[in-house]
Amino acid sequence: MNGEEITKRDLVLELRSTPGLRPQDLELHQQALLDQIINRKLLAQRATAEGLRKDPDYLATLRLMREQLLADRYSRNVTPSPQTTRRQLKAYIQANPHRFASRRLYVLQQIEMPADAYPSASTGIKVPLSELEKLTASLGPDQVIRSDIAADTKNMTPAEAAMLASLPASAAGVVTSGDRLRLVHVRSFEEAPITGNAAAAEAQIAIQTEQLATSVRSKVNSLRSSAKIEYQPSYSPQL
């Protein structure tokens, strides 16, 4: 293509970066993937011809992407995939019932508003819907954002799952209370337990992910302790 070769490896990498496609889908989607590559390369070649490779924003973004790719690759190589025993899997499943036997799929109404509209709110508290409606009615329409969202307790912390499970139909729970206050009200839910071999597989992935994250944090702390890091006065960490 204009003297630039597109290889089978390019197709495989394109497949990996396309959401929803699996390795076995390569042959079925080969032409579409090839077209994606060709279109991107044509645009990239035109951008290069117009001198955009020298654009400061492009160079800064390229450096950031390169660093992120290298950091991700190193993180995966920091330690081999840890092995897990049946006892570890069983203990993990029992310690996290919201992710397994007590898993729920929720439909939630989410309400966002400025935090200063409800100064006494803090994460985890329950607010009666009647009180919440009075509060939102006193705010301008551009200050309150309502939306319906799906939520899976498998992806929650134990505290978040417990808060939803204990939330009465007549109340909303405060999820975050930073600059924006975010509350949720349960519209409906269904039980969706994960058990047996499926639970063991999920637990193994979760344990390995957590162990790897711990290993990476340890490595980062070690690298920081031996690195020479100098901050400008206004960017010094707050002790």
| Tens digit of each residue's pLDDT (9 = 90 or more) over 119-154 | 887 888 899 999 999 889 898 888 999 999 999 999
Are residues 22 and 65 both part of a single domain?
Answer: yes
Structure confidence at residue 190 as a pLDDT band (50, 70, 90): very high
Which domain covers residue 62, as residue numbers?
Answer: 8-77
Residue 165 domain flag: yes
| 108 and 49 belong to one structural domain | no
**Considering the domain boundaries, does residue 148 fall inside one?**
yes
Q: Do 98 and 80 meet the contact criterion of CB atoms below 8 Å apart?
A: no
List pLDDT tens digits, range 65-121. 999 999 988 887 776 566 788 999 999 999 999 999 999 999 999 999 998 888 887
In a domain, 210, yes or no: no
Main-chain phi, psi angles of 118, to 5 degrees: -145, 70
For the chain, what is the total number of helices (H) and then of strands (E)?
7, 5
Helices (H), the chain: 8-16, 26-49, 56-77, 86-95, 129-137, 158-165, 196-226
Other residues' Cβ atoms within 10 Å of the Cβ of residue 4: 10
What pLDDT score was predicted for residue 80? 59
144 domain residue, yes or no = yes
Q: Domain check: are 73 and 110 in the same one?
A: no
- State the pLDDT confidence band at 212, using cuts at 50, 70 and 90: confident
Could you give the CA distance from residue 84 to residue 16 in angstroms, rounded to a whole number?
Answer: 27
Most distant CA pair in the chain, distance: 68
Nearest alpha-carbon partner for 4 in 64, 50, 44, 47: 44
As for how many domains the chain has, the answer is 2
> Is residue 17, in this structure, part of any structural domain at all?
yes
Look at residue 53 and tell me whether its pLDDT is greater than 70. Answer: yes
Within-domain flag for 124: yes
Rounded Cα distance between 223 and 51, Å, is 38
Same domain, 118 and 181: yes
